[in-house]
Structure 1
Amino acid sequence: MKLLILDRDGVINLDSDAYIKTLDEWIPIPSSIAAIARLSRAGWTVAVATNQSGIARGYYGLATLEAMHDRLRELVAEQGGEVGLIVYCPHGPDDGCDCRKPKAGLLEQIAAHYATSLAGVWFVGDSSSDLQAALAVGCQPVLVKTGKGPRTLTKALPPGTLVFDDLAAVAAHLL
């Protein structure tokens, strides 16, 4: 199985320090939608692992989150692709869960769902917590320079982290 795991905010859609609280605020990065569709059409399974603490904070509910993910699936399907499993952490940073990145719970859910090892699987994110989660399960950490990527680049990156301009550049490299 050719599996690629993506963070959502800042990789697939524009990010906001004020949270993405409504479907209207969920603004896809067009080249990212096209990249997911291209990868899917080429036989890749593209899964998503995203922290969504806005749920715990009361900024939006599960129905809104599902509407965002439905829209993502629709946009990718319009280009002949498919989005695989989407897992999310609805907890706040102080809730003590095992799913909030940089912890490995979300990635472990994906591994269990697909009954596969994550060793060497690329996990594409824009933050230090994404890169740390990747390392925790043996994934290849990949940083994109969209979303929080430019801020993340000012910090020390885990050894072996690959850096690309955006998800389209990741797809071009993999294809």
Structure 2
Amino acid sequence: MKKAIFLDRDGVLNEVLSERVKFVNRPEELYLLKGAAEAVAELSKAGYEIFVVTNQGGVGLGFLKEKRLHEIHDHMVKMIREHGGHIKEVAYCPHKPKAGCECRKPNAGMLLDLAERHDIDLTGSVMVGDHERDIEAGKKAGCKTVFIGTEETSADQKAPSLQAAVPLILELLE
């Protein structure tokens, strides 16, 4: 079984609720955070598979079609690849925020599904997110966790950005 890195999307890889964009509803509205693509490249070069796990309630609420969401994710993966990073797969929950599904974080459904399909050792893997719901999902799946931000958290580690978190993530994977 392999160890993997699971990354939340909004607030970890790309801007959200910023001066440039409120929500990402089109590929051209996706702006990677400073150093995020380079961080993914560094983690990729370390030999770990990287997955994005993201709640996308806008689909269930009718603000965004799944076809457009796939275009956004394809654009993000391409931008990261241009910096030498590799995203193995993007998993998303398209359900409304209060739908009660197992895939929406803080539930661990997306991580459990990816682990089963890709032969991943969740106890040796790391979940990275900028909300406590991301950390909860990682813990429910048995992962180690890294919080991106400055707030109080129950995560194993905390850093101000994905780029700053790279050494902490690698340390947790050892």
Q: TM-score, normalised by structure 2?
A: 0.88
Distance 1:111 1:52 in 2: 20
Look up the match of 2:15. Answer: 14
Q: Give 2:163's match in structure 1, choosing from 152, 159, 168.
A: 168
Residues 85-121 of structure 1, C-alpha deviations (whole Å, 9 max, x = no match)? 2100000122121100001101111111211220131
Between the aligned residues of both structures, percent identity stands at 33
Look up the match of 2:37. Answer: 33
Q: Is the 8 A contact 2:147 2:158 kept in 1?
A: yes
How many residues align? The count is: 166
2:137 match: secondary structure: helix
Residues 25-84 of structure 1, C-alpha deviations (whole Å, 9 max, x = no match)? 211113001110121122121111100000011111112211111111111221223111
Q: CA RMSD in A?
A: 1.7
Q: Is the 8 A contact 1:99 1:105 kept in 2?
A: yes
* Structure 1, unaligned runs of 5 or more: none
1:30 match: secondary structure: coil
Tell which deviates more after alignment, 45-54 or 62-71: 62-71
Q: Is the 8 A contact 2:112 2:141 kept in 1?
A: yes
Q: Give 1:106's match in structure 2, choosing from 110, 113, 121.
A: 110
Q: What amino acid sits opposite 1:52 in the alignment?
A: Q
Distance 1:23 1:38 in 2: 24
Residues 134-170 of structure 1, C-alpha deviations (whole Å, 9 max, x = no match)? 110111121011xxxx4xx15xx22x52101111112
1:58 match: secondary structure: coil
Structure ranking higher in helix proportion: 2
Aligned 1:8-157 pairs, distance under 5 A: 8-16=9-17, 18-145=22-149, 150=150, 153-154=151-152, 157=153
Q: What amino acid sits opposite 1:166 in the alignment?
A: S
